[in-house]
Amino acid sequence: MRLALGLLPFLAVGGFVAARSTASPNVHVPVVAYPDGYRAWTHVKSTMIGPSHPSFATMGGFQHIYANPQAMVGYRTRTFPEGSVVVFEWLEMRDSAGAFREGPMRQIDVMAKDPHRFDSTGGWGFQRFVGNSRTERAAAPAPAQCFSCHQRLKKDDLVLSHWRD
Amino acid sequence: MRLALGLLPFLAVGGFVAARSTASPNVHVPVVAYPDGYRAWTHVKSTMIGPSHPSFATMGGFQHIYANPQAMVGYRTRTFPEGSVVVFEWLEMRDSAGAFREGPMRQIDVMAKDPHRFDSTGGWGFQRFVGNSRTERAAAPAPAQCFSCHQRLKKDDLVLSHWRD
């Protein structure tokens, strides 16, 4: 079950990976801020989509999950306090005879906990930033799409990954 | 060239991965301390040895590199100050139709910069800790073996990995 949950992002957003279009900020939808300095946050875990995976062309590579200090409280208690931010970083990969290294950035997916601003999506804001951009927000997946799948699994405050002790 | 250097640990220590024997601390050899809390340090990068790699059975899985604050100065400047510690964490992997997730810990390899204590190995102490143990030190590779290969490549203060900007 843990495997299935861990792989959810690969399944849930697969249909949207190729979408590079961007949306203008909608004043009616609260905006998720770019997570400045997230690479200095705690690295929770990594996964990788390899060449034998059916979605390799659009999703192949490394996925690294980073958590800010508030989110690390959540990873310990499974209740994430306001201010928690989790970043799911997608990198392409390079294959050297079965030894894989990181390639260019595909995008980052951000979850930010603020029950007041994001009450319509379970207290979490969801946003994808395209490539290395700090400002270019992907139109898809829309926050409601992210929320719908996380909510369906209703797992531990909507955060699907786990900290390895 | 960067690829070749990035993959060095896979080549250099391959012959020693299976060695699970341990050595008693030798009073004549300075001891490298276990890097407490390294998983909260900065995650520098990851690599992975996949199922198609010839050394998959003994080395397959994820390799995560973590750096303490002093080592992060070194990653920026390529000159690593005293107190720098770099941890190379080896995890097995689990394969689910080409989607890979982290498995159990194989070992961690530690590099600690202290020119006074480790003057015979380029100012760096080298130590492998077995599995999840904080006290079980692997007998192989010996510090001199680690140093010999890092020294041969003589790259940027003996640290072979790079920070991705």
Q: What is the pLDDT of residues B68-89, one digit of tens each?
A: 999 999 999 999 999 999 999 9
CB A144 within 8 A of CB A121: yes
Q: For residue B147, what are the contacts with CB-CB under 8 A and spacing of at least 6?
A: B121, B122, B124, B126, B158
> pLDDT category, A11, cuts 50, 70, 90?
very low
Count the alpha carbons within 13 Å of B74 in the hemisphere toward its beta carbon. 27
Between A and B, how many CB-CB pairs are < 8 A?
90
- Output phi, psi for A14, to 5 deg: -55, -40
Q: How many residues does chain A have?
A: 165
> Average pLDDT of chain A?
86
Asked if A110 and A68 count as a contact pair (C-beta separation under 8 A), the reply is no
**Residue A15's pLDDT is what?**
36
**Residue A94 pLDDT > 90, yes or no?**
yes
Interface predicted TM-score (ipTM) of this complex, two decimals: 0.84
What amino acid occupies position B88?
F
Closest by Cα among A152, A160, A165 to A2: A160
What CA–CA distance (Å, rounded) separates A96 from A14?
Answer: 25
Distance from C-alpha of A1 to C-alpha of A46, rounded to nearest angstrom: 17
Report the C-alpha gap between B110 and B130 in whole angstroms: 11
DSSP helix/strand/coil, B59:
helix
Interface probe with A: pick from B13, B90, B101, B163, most Cβ of A within 10 Å: B101
Whether residue B101 and residue A3 make contact (CB cut-off 8 A), yes or no, is: yes
Contact B102 A46 (CB under 8 A): yes
Neighbour-count burial of A116, counting CB atoms closer than 10 A to its CB (0-12 exposed, 13-18 middle, 19+ buried) = exposed
Q: Which of B52, B56, B59, B94 to mutate to test the interface with A (most CBs of A within 10 A)?
A: B52
Q: In this structure, what token pair is assigned to residue B81?
A: 């100050």
Look up residue B1 and give its two tokens.
Answer: 């060239």
CA nearest to A5 within chain B: B101
Across A147-160, average pLDDT? 86
User: Does residue A91 or residue A3 have the better pLDDT?
Assistant: A91
- The identity of residue A57, as a single letter, is A
Angle, vertex CA B163, rays to CA A94 and CA A35, nearest 5: 95
Q: Is the pTM of this model over 0.90?
A: no
pLDDT more than 70, % of chain A: 82
Q: DSSP secondary structure string, B92-158? A: EEEEETTEEEEEEEEEEEEEEE-TTTTGGGTTEEEEEEETT-SS-BBSSS-HHHHHHHHHHHT-GGG
Cis check: omega of the bond before A141, within 30 degrees of 0? yes
Best mutation target among B43, B62, B163 (most A Cβ atoms within 10 Å) is B43
Q: How high is the pLDDT of residue B30?
A: 83
φ/ψ (deg, to 5) at B45: -175, 175
B100 touches chain A (CB under 8 A): yes
Residue-wise pLDDT tens digits, B109-141: 999 999 999 999 999 999 999 999 999 999 999
> Is A75:A44 a contact under the CB 8 Å cutoff?
yes
Judged against a pLDDT cut of 80, whether residue A126 lies above it is answered with yes
Residues A105, A121: Cα–Cα separation, whole Å: 27
Q: Measured between CB atoms, which of A43, A97, A100 is closest to B43?
A: A43
What is residue A152's predicted lDDT score, i.e. its pLDDT? 86
Enumerate the β-bridge partners of residue B87: B66, B110
Residue A60: closest C-alpha in chain B: B99
